[in-house]
A and B are shown apart, each in its own frame.
Chain A
Amino acid sequence: MPSASKKSQPKKKAKIPSKNLSPVVGLVIDSVAGKEKTHQADKIKDAKDARIAQLEKDLLSAREDMRNITENQEAANEELRGANEVLVTVNQELLDRNELYNQARLYAEAIVATIHEPLLVLDKDFRIKSANPAFYKTFRITEEETLGKVLFELQNNQWGIPGLRSHLLKIQMQKKRSWDWELSHYFPVVGIRIICFDARPFQIENGEDRILLAMEDITERKLLENRNLLSNIVDNSDDAIISKKLDGTIMSWNKSAEKIFGYTKDEIVGKNILLIIPPELHHEEVMIISKIKKGEDVPHFNTVRLAKSGKRINVSVTISPIKDEEGNVIGASKISRDITDEINARKKIEESELRLFTLIHSSPFAIGLLQGKDLIISAANEAIINILGKGPDIIGKPYFELMPELADQGYREVFTEVYNTGKPFNAVETAVNILRNGKMDTQYYNFLLFTQRNVNNEINGVGIIASEVTETAVYHQKLKESEEQFRQTADLLPDKVFKADAKGNFFYLNKAWGKTTGLTQDKLRNVGWLKTVHSDDLEKVKKHLNQTLETGNDFELQFRIKDKTGNYRWHLCRAMALKDDNGKIKMWIGAITDIQEQKRKEEEKSEFISIASHELKTPLTASKLYINLLEEGLSREEDSSFLLFAQKAGNSIERLELLIKELLDVQKIQHGKLDLNITTFDFNEMLDGAIEEAHLSAPNFSILKTGHISLPFKGDRDRLQQVVSNLLTNAVKYSPGSDKVFVTATDEQGMIKVTVEDHGIGIRKDNLNKIFDLYYREEERSNPFQGFGIGLSISSEIVKRHNGEIWVESERGKGSTFYFTIPI
């Protein structure tokens, strides 16, 4: 074609088709291929996509035809150039063909004109090249106002639809079709319209770009959809939605209304609304209707309605007037919500509040609630009122105005910190000064400050829970002081003090340990201290330790400990178990005393006694023997008075011998050195020996023995004879008006029992349990020859050393009976 246009001759003829094609060239071409498809045009509005596709197809085939035609034209031109003579013929042919085109164009125009959807063809500047009657009709615009105008400026810029230009530009650039682009726009002439656009770009034969813009007005369809949506909302609402006429006739009734009131839609539509209003509340309806008639809303209020079952339902109701197109009130819509659950929930909240109130006011803890940043007292129980000491009327007062003394102690800052940060504040055994009756009073409290929050979780107050713990705090303080004092005291002591757990592990040692052993606390802890014990004593210590830990008895033992110079020194260890109420060992407290010096002195003393006894006994022995010799010699003399003197000297020597023996025994008892010489012997024989001996020294007394011990006995024969002799000597000595002493001996249930009974002066009752004490002597018995009164004390010790018991029964003036028992 461009080559053809350069030729001069066929210019005129070549112009024909291009002139005819404008301005609805697409549509005309469309019609060429659309000849056979006229019957489809009627159905286009129902099948828009198919139609547009068809149009596109038609366009393409029209273009194809166009090319073919052009080729034919070129061929014709060649012929013209080649053979001038056939020009007329060909020209005629072309005219015929042009006629054909015109017919096709008119046909296509007719089709476009009959299409119901508005169609526009735009050029590259979006000027309207053509429009169909549906466009004019839909948008109430004339052809003159439309053709050649820019789309967006139509009808005083009514088409300046936001986004439309950019949408079309995009289509132009991308050369792609855009489907179903929906938008809603207000056209002053036709009102709000919802339009579905379909735009496709194409080129006409001279290469110019065009856009075919098809529009479908879907406003009605959308409104219908919305109506359906609204009715869905009403149907699916949880609230009962009812409409009624002004006379109360029910017009509509949704599903929730059926559910809440129990009436179906069919049952109730057409009935009066009073059906669901309890009789005593019918006046409510009168007021509602009068308000509705004035066109006013009735804001929501809570009331009671009747269900079909007769059940009364708590409801929240909102009523609005319904108006007709002219604005006249013709009825009312009513939304009811079943608030039975809400009311129940509120009741529960009220109950819970009551419980909280009771809890606060019956609590032994002091509880107070402070409201707002100003910490105004909003609740306070009796306990906190008592603590604060400002009388009962404290509600509503700002806390720190009421309690300036607390502000002075810095508590305002503490409360503010809690309020601002939300972090609770916990105080334990804290001293707080409170002014009571004009006097500053210091007491100790455990207290907790915590934030209170509203439903939005915002802090709106501070709560106090407090309990007075002065007694405990003072106790703890004293305990702490006492513990400190204990440590200080313990550190001052020269003794090694320790505390150990129930298993005997040392957990506390005083400073003396380090001073003695030179070892660190760590080395001594637990059982480390055992390493300082002399190897000869270690077994003994361990054995005693295990026994004590098991039984919980007091620990007392002497052993040697190595000091820091490497020398062993004797120590006495004493420990005592602290037990709980069930007798379970909690811990041990003990002390280890250096007794090296004491031990040395004891040894010296013991040596001294030994020497003294030797030194005393030696002259005694000589005296005794000389007196024996004197007695022998004098017994042969005629004058017997000298023999009597010699005998008296002999008796005195005997008594002196006994006294020395007793003194030494006492020394031994005091030093724990009264050693028993255990043998198996005939107890009866021993008893008889003692009786015979006593009888010899007191021949005027008859000592009558009854009973017999048949079993062989294990014990210290000499010492037990000493006991019996002592009892017999006493019996004789304290029976001045009598001449009889009774002895019984029995063995029963693994126990021997010996009694010595006299009919002498007896012992005063209050002295009965003192007579076995060392150095005790009954006053009335005192006379220069009655010894130190230590005989019974020695006897008691001897019996005890045999695991036996000794006691006395006596009556003043009637005599005494001494008993002792010893297990066999």
Chain B
Amino acid sequence: MEKCILIYDDDVEILTVTKIILEKHHYHVETRTRCDDIIKEVGEIKADLVFMDLWIPRMGGESALQLMKQNEVTWHIPVILFSANDLIEEVCKRSNADGYLRKPFSINNLVQLVEDIILKKK
């Protein structure tokens, strides 16, 4: 069964190209430009992995991540932060994210990271 990946980013182009790449690698991909209903969405979609942009309206990626990690239903779902922010590594550590991807990244970077996380999960 295809793994489901949920991607949050306010930039539609990023969402589009990432979705194309990951679908080419046989993942089911859902995308959102806002993260206000994250708990509900993660539950409905039954996401196996979440990509979260740090600068996303309205609450911002870090707060959304915290919500997920504090929720007993969603806390176990791995989250990868991705952002152009230089401090991403620091944010990743402090918010218990499962990985980070510094923008800009290559196809290899993306696919390799997703595979690592999914395999680790198995």
Contacts and interface: CB of A to CB of B under 8 A. Distances in A.
Interface of A: 610, 613-614, 616-622, 624-626, 628-629, 632, 653, 657, 664, 677
B72 interface: no
What interface size band does chain B fall in?
Answer: 20 to 34
Contacts of B110: 625
Nearest to A620: B104
B11 interface: yes
Contacts of B11: 618-619, 622
Nearest to B89: A677
A624 B103 CA distance: 10
B21 A610 contact: no
A657 B104 contact: yes
B86 A625 contact: no
20 contacts: A610-B85, A613-B86, A614-B55, A614-B83, A617-B103, A618-B11, A619-B13, A620-B104, A621-B84, A621-B104, A622-B16, A625-B18, A625-B21, A625-B105, A625-B106, A625-B107, A626-B17, A628-B106, A629-B21, A657-B104
Nearest to A610: B85
A44 B91 CA distance: 149
B25 to A, nearest CB: 12
Given A618-B11, A621-B14, A622-B14, A629 B84 contact: no
B20 interface: yes
Interface in B54-83: 55, 83
A76 B2 CA distance: 199
A616 B14 CA distance: 13
A653 B105 CA distance: 11
A624 B104 contact: yes
Contact of B84 (A618, A653, A677): A618
Contacts of A632: 107
A613 B83 CA distance: 10
B116 to A, nearest CB: 19
B86 to A, nearest CB: 7
Contacts of A616: 84
Contact of B103 (A618, A629, A653): A618
Given A613-B85, A625-B104, 5 more contacts: A613-B86, A614-B84, A619-B11, A622-B17, A625-B110
A657 B103 CA distance: 10
Contacts of A613: 84-86
A629 B104 CA distance: 15
Contacts of A621: 14, 84, 103-105
Contacts of A614: 55, 83-85
Given A614-B55, A619-B13, A621-B84, A628 B107 contact: yes
Contacts of A617: 84, 103-104
Contacts of B17: 622, 625-626, 629
B102 to A, nearest CB: 9
Interface in B21-71: 21, 55
A629 B83 contact: no
B23 to A, nearest CB: 12
Contacts of B83: 614
A617 B88 CA distance: 14
Contacts of A625: 17-18, 21, 104-107, 110
A629 B21 CA distance: 8
A621 B83 CA distance: 10
A632 B16 CA distance: 17
Contacts of B18: 625
Given A618-B14, A619-B13, A629-B21, A624 B85 contact: no
Nearest to A611: B55
B115 to A, nearest CB: 16
Nearest to B12: A622
Nearest to B16: A622
Contacts of A657: 104
A618 B106 CA distance: 13
Contacts of B103: 617-618, 620-621
Name the residue among B17, B18, B21, B103 with the largest chain A CB count within 10 angstroms.
Answer: B103
A563 B18 CA distance: 53
A620 B103 CA distance: 8
Contacts of B85: 610, 613-614
Contacts of B86: 613, 664
Contact of A629 (B14, B20, B55, B89): B20
Nearest to A653: B104
